[in-house]
Amino acid sequence: TISGTSTFPGPGGASSVSVDADTILENLKMTFMGSFEASNGTWGGYTDLVYMDVGDSKSNTQAFSIGSRGIPAGTSASLDYDLKGWVWTVAGTYRVMAERDLKMDLLVGARALDLRQKLSWALAGNVGPVALPDRAGTRELDEQNWDAVVGIKGRAAFGEGRWFVPYYLDLGAGESKFTWQAMAGIGYSFGWGDVVAAWRYIDYQMKSGKPVEDINFSGPGIAAVFRW
């Protein structure tokens, strides 16, 4: 699930265009998630990467606005929206708990967000009050920012120790107003590594004046974890 609101600034004298992504997006084109961790004693390093490519088209919709107002009641639009993005976290870690059934690391680092959005539209119907340059067009929007993050991550085992609950939580701010990420699930250990099923949520609240007002990503995932 992806939801959020973006405003595409207008070139020259044209109006800005605002769109609620969650009212348009239904189709996932491609996604990738992966992480790598290394440690030496209690100190370590951690990095995590998420890539997404999503988009959808809508016909006879009013799920966007031109300027600060919605389009007229007698007007509908055909929309084509595309979003590509990276979310990259890199951090140093320190193990504060290393019991047999409970492990916890503190992490301090940074997260980068890189979004590229493209919106194309064409209006139909009663378009009288809409300025001629705004009745059809294409706008593109790039957003890049860095935030400092702090958090915890680890795992809690139960049963005979093969079953465990992985967890992750971080909070941060910087070029965005506030960002946070959480993950929890269930895992099972084999001799070669682990298999994990988890739910993940990433949220961004941007500072006033940013073209991307807010955006969040959430959903389930299944992962294989290899150790050496």
What tens digit of pLDDT does each residue of 3-57 get?
888 888 877 667 788 888 777 776 677 788 899 999 999 999 999 999 988 888 8
In this predicted structure, what is the pLDDT of residue 100?
A: 85
**What backbone phi and psi angles, to 5 degrees, belong to 78?**
-100, 125
Per-residue confidence (pLDDT) for residue 60, from 0 to 100: 79
Kindly state the tokens that stand for 2. Answer: 């992806």
Output the DSSP codes for 84-129: EEEEEEEEEEEEEEE-SSEEEEEEEEEEEEEEEEEEEEEEEE--TT
State whether residue 22 is helix, strand or coil: helix
Alpha carbons within 13 A on the beta-carbon side of 169: 5
Query: Please, what is the Cα angle at 217 between 67 and 154, to 5 degrees?
Result: 150
Q: Ranked by mean pLDDT, which of 197-201, 216-220, 221-225 comes out on top?
A: 197-201
Name the pTM for this structure.
0.84
Query: How confident is the model at residue 94, as a pLDDT?
Result: 97
Q: Express each pLDDT in 72-126 by its tens digit.
A: 777 778 888 888 999 999 999 999 999 888 999 999 999 999 999 998 888 877 7
Q: What is the dihedral of CA 52, 198, 21, 175, to 10 degrees?
A: -70
Q: What pLDDT, on a 0 to 100 scale, did the predictor assign at position 11?
A: 73
Over residues 132-149, mean pLDDT:
86
